[in-house]
Amino acid sequence: MGVLLLMTDPTDTRDTGPRVGTPLWAFLAGSIVIGFTALVVAMLRLDQGGLAALARTPLFWVLAVLVVLGELRPVMVSSATAVGGTYPSTMFTFAVLLHFGLPVAVLMQAVAVAMNGIVTRKAWHRVMFNIAQSTLALTAAAVVLGLFGIVPSPAVPWTPTGGDLLAIALAGVAYFATRAALVSGAVALHERRSITRVLKASVGPQSLVYTALLGLAPLVVVVMNHSPTLIPLFVAPLAAVYFTATLSMRRDHQAMHDELTALPNRKMLIVSTEEALAEARHDERVGLFLIDLDRFKEVNDTMGHPVGDRLLQMVAHRLTHSVRPGDVVARLGGDEFAVLLPSIRDAHAAREVAARLRAALTEPVRLEGMTFDLDGSVGIALYPDHAPDFELLLQRADVAMYLAKEGRTGVELYQPDKDRNSPERLNLLGDLRRAVDNGELKLHYQPKVGLATGAVHGVEALLRWRHPVHGQLPPSEFIPLAEQSYLMRQLTEYVIDAALEQAARWWHTGLRVQVSVNVSARDLLDSALPEQLEMGLAKFRLPPSAIQLEVTERILMGDQAYTHETIKALAALGVPLALDDFGTGYSSLIRLQRLAVSEVKIDASFVSRIAESDDDARIVRSIVELVRSLGLRSVAEGVESDDVAIRLTKMGCDMGQGWLFNEPMPAAEATVWLREHAEATPEIEYGYRSEVTQTA
């Protein structure tokens, strides 16, 4: 606690002082007034003649130089902000206090602190506070010495003996306690933390260094008295203390900070969060933000990792300069950051801080002669509203962050009803795993019908689950849950095997109907998928065109969809792809053309409204024309009325799918329905007859 630790960066342009009227301003102003009063009183008591005589000795200037040099760079014992550093000048200033008295000591200390402020460009209020608190600490030590009858002066220097150890020890305690109380009080007010927490974090590490420095001070005095020329030798043990503490601090910093950005890491974030939770007041909240950068991967892949690293460093700088004093910005890895708000009034205030952070991120960044536009998604979780501990807070901030990313809202507060990781959903995940193992999941099949001809062009396999307790569950209840777990791959394997088995029953009894299966983007890029399909097709003696894979438009957003080996393997195998829910994403025409799909399915949200909305009708017509121009088939989902079907036919849409034709049916019902419509099914159109012949 050598100096005020409000803003440790000497080039920080925000170092403009506290606002007038705030508790911190009152504390600093009061400390400065009292401290400078003590300084003036000490100067009035200074023996001018004795000081002039002392100034003519080499000893005075040796001590003055050592005090000034010792004030220029602190001994850092911890990387924690509240701990800060201790200046080696303490040893020599305390020695001057013991030998020449309070006036000389405070004069040297004040000059040294002022020179430190000039060299490091500290703000005037910090320099004045540091002079005041060091003066008060020396005054407290002088008062203790005075109680033992020890009142040295330049004219009558004092040299301690073995019997004075108690007086020196108590004076050292008074010195340390005064500085600790003043600096910790200022830090606590500045960072809106309890003084108990600041003291707990700082007293331990600082007391060890102060014990060493103050303990050496009497030895310095003894050497002054006997052989002043030997005083510079104390620089050696001082250097040992300095370098030992520096090495310890570096190890501590490496363990608790991110190497690239120098921000706190997950370990330090855990410690800081647990401290904040332990000291949280009943009328306030503790906030934890999770921030994920948008489009960072594109920059990293395009410009290379060195540019990406510099970009992360700039992001770290922006975040730390956008939070309040006392808030903690940490990097969890990759492009993921966390922000801890140890004290926040409510959810509205938390959203304001999150909006400010996001605004800082969206400012254009210029690197390597290029301008990058970044954005970020922020998830917010609050204690005690959303979670009682760090792990659950982080998990729920993560849930909120993904909601912000999926909804493109930028900032989201945790919402329990949208948490896919709630206890109920985790129980449901366990039930789903058992359902897959026990074969409780069934496929239903919904036909795709030619709008102009009424011919059946295929069926889509849709998964259904009748839960033993909750009854029939819609796919929206369990598919997203599976997608976020290890179970999705197993579920996809089950669906593909079941679809191939049913397709074989139809094909080998004359119903040559293509079966479409929905797969996620992750499944599509799984290297095991082509092998599973190849083995399944061979097992059931089916041509590749007997099955079709449907993927959502989101697959177009990543470049690996066009270069991935799995996509190439599927193309070589001859399994066709269909693009599902087209129109809901943000893909470009060029990207659509680059992906080898044979069919595009127009999302039901547009199709269902074409009779009422001219805008939706124009969108659907544009998609149909686009798909036709690319030589692909168009399928309208959600066709539920004759009016919609007629409008789609006039637009030139190839096929329709929806309740107008039939709802999803179990395999037995679908078989009966397909046989009734078999005569209208155009086998030649897809080349099924020749492929079956070759396979057979």
pLDDT number for residue 103: 93
Task: Pick from 1-15, 270-284, 360-374, 584-598 the range whose average pLDDT is largest.
Answer: 270-284
CA 141, distance to chain mean position in Å, is 47
Q: pLDDT by residue (tens digit) across 55-92?
A: 888 888 888 888 888 887 776 655 444 445 678 888 88
Which pLDDT tens digit goes with each residue over 96-152? 999 999 999 999 999 999 998 888 888 888 889 999 999 999 999 999 999 999 999
Return the pLDDT at 433.
82
**Strand-pair partners of 465:** 441, 473
Q: Would you place residue 425 in the very low, low, confident or very high pLDDT band (cuts 50, 70, 90)?
A: low
Question: Residue 486, SS3?
Answer: coil
Q: What is the fold, at CATH topology level, of the domain defined by 266-418? A: Alpha-Beta Plaits (3.30.70)
In this predicted structure, the answer to whether residue 570 has a pLDDT above a threshold of 90 is no
Give yes or no for residue 587 having a pLDDT over 50. no
Give residue 231's pLDDT. Answer: 78
More confident position, 423 or 170: 170
pLDDT at 288 over 80: yes
Domain limits, the chain: 23-256, 266-418, 444-695
pLDDT tens track for 517-539: 988 777 777 778 888 999 999 99
Q: Check if the beta carbon of residue 616 is closer than 8 Å to that of residue 583.
A: no
Q: Residue 59: how many CB atoms within 10 A of its CB?
A: 15
How would residue 606 be classed by pLDDT, with cut points 50, 70 and 90?
confident
pLDDT of residue 195: 76
Q: Are 400 and 304 in contact (CB under 8 A)?
A: no
d(CA 538, CA 532): 10
Give yes or no for a contact between 379 and 412, defined as CB atoms under 8 angstroms apart.
yes
Angstrom distances, CA of residue 442 to CA of 203, 260, 552:
66, 50, 22
Give me the mean pLDDT over the 9-14 stretch: 35
Architecture of domain 444-695: Alpha-Beta Barrel (3.20)
User: Could you check whether 266-418 and 444-695 share the same CATH topology?
Assistant: no
pLDDT digits (tens, 9 = 90+) for 619-656: 899 889 988 888 889 999 999 889 999 999 999 999 99
Per residue in 539-560, pLDDT tens? 999 999 999 998 876 555 454 4
Q: What are φ and ψ of residue 25, in 5° steps? A: -60, -45
Whole-angstrom distance, CA of residue 628 vs CA of residue 652: 9
pLDDT, residue 300, reads 63
Helices (runs of H) and strands (runs of E) counted in the chain: 28, 19
Dump the DSSP string for 506-535.
HHTTT----EEEE--HHHHT-THHHHHHHH
pLDDT at 67: 87
Q: Does the pLDDT of residue 692 top 60, yes or no? A: no
Q: Please report, rounded to a whole number, the percentage of residues in the chain having pLDDT higher than 70.
A: 83
Mean pLDDT of the chain: 81
Mean per-residue pLDDT, 8-36: 71
The proportion of the chain whose per-residue pLDDT surpasses 90, expressed as a percent, equals 26
Checking DSSP bridges between strand 75-76 and strand 336-344, what pairing results, if any?
A: unpaired
The model's confidence at residue 496, banded by pLDDT at 50, 70 and 90, is: very high
- The answer to whether residue 43 scores a pLDDT higher than 60 is yes
Average pLDDT of span 406-414: 83
pLDDT at 275 over 90: no
Distance CA(107)–CA(42), nearest Å, equals 9
Query: Residue range 601-608: average pLDDT?
Result: 86
Q: In this predicted model, what pLDDT tens digit does every residue of 338-388 receive, in sequence order?
A: 999 988 888 888 888 888 888 888 887 777 667 777 778 899 999 988 888
- pTM summary value: 0.49
